[in-house]
Structure 1
Amino acid sequence: MKALLLSFGFGLVAVLQAQEFPDTEEIQDVTGTWYIKATASDKEIPENLRIVSVTPMTITALEGGNLQVNFTALIKGHCRKMSFVLEKTNKPDKYTADWGTHVLYIMPSIVKDHYVFYWESKKRAFRFREAKLLGRDPDINQEALEDFRNAARVAGLNAEKIFIPKQSETCSLGSN
């Protein structure tokens, strides 16, 4: 029993070390086009509110290290344009949005050209945690998906209910 607990503990430490936040020098340029490949959450997202289809995400650098994020998603049968600014904090991997009620960490995956965007909502009415796997191309990379699954588990998210949205270049109502 002790050997089992010890091996589990070492495994957990290894996963946590693999998911450590990067140092300032390790932050790479996250601007450009990204594809949302998978989503995990700590809450069940109702089927009718789930993003069914998503266009590529565009991230643009703003003054002061802030980031502008734009994409369109098909939700509840309607194309919804999403646009928000991520405000830089004093930590190289941490941003806030909506006047600090949402916190975002940007963590590189072990797979090249893949990142995990980890959100925490601190709004009193609806608290949630969510992670998204982003990649430079629309194809699913199994190694990146497994790394994402491990990151979701470590973050306490439901790694068994990962949702993979349909990729599309434009939002069209027939994309479900």
Structure 2
Amino acid sequence: MHKTLTTMIASLATVMLLTASPAKATVYRFTFESFDSELTATGEITVNAADEVVAIAGEISGLVDETIGSVTPNPDFSGPAYSPDGSFIYNNVYYPSGMSFDIYGVLFATAQNPGGYWNLWGDSPGDYSLWESASPYNYPIEETGTLSVAAVPELSTWAMLGLGFGGLGVAGRRRAPRLAQRSIG
């Protein structure tokens, strides 16, 4: 029993050390669904300690089928900036409470539209917009809908959960024979 507990604690410590990172970043899963159900965007965003979206990956499906490739960096973070084609004003600020994005939102590119951009922003709670620019001021897709965002648990969180369940299993197995002996006697 003592050896098993020691092994579990050592394993947890190793996992926590290996997953520690110097720069705190949080990964979130997101789903945008247009009100008319014609467009869906799903994927993950990575947000740094300053609440800046620094990475995005996923897929857009429905009206188009495109792979989200990269977030467009904001040279004026946390203030607003113009997209390289001048079609959008964005800031790439993620808000961990309340609305996830404000009226400027996050700007990203897809592999299938290398010269254009996508902007996902919020007008009010429960009302988000996802627009595509194909060239300056040319918006072939203009959809409004809902956005859901949820944090992705870190590996260390899963390790702690596993350790907890393992400990409960060991404790339960260890006590089961004692309970059985008492009821027999």
Give the TM-score of the pair, scaled to structure 2. Answer: 0.34
Does 1 or 2 have the higher relative contact order (CA < 8 Å, sep 6+)?
Answer: 1
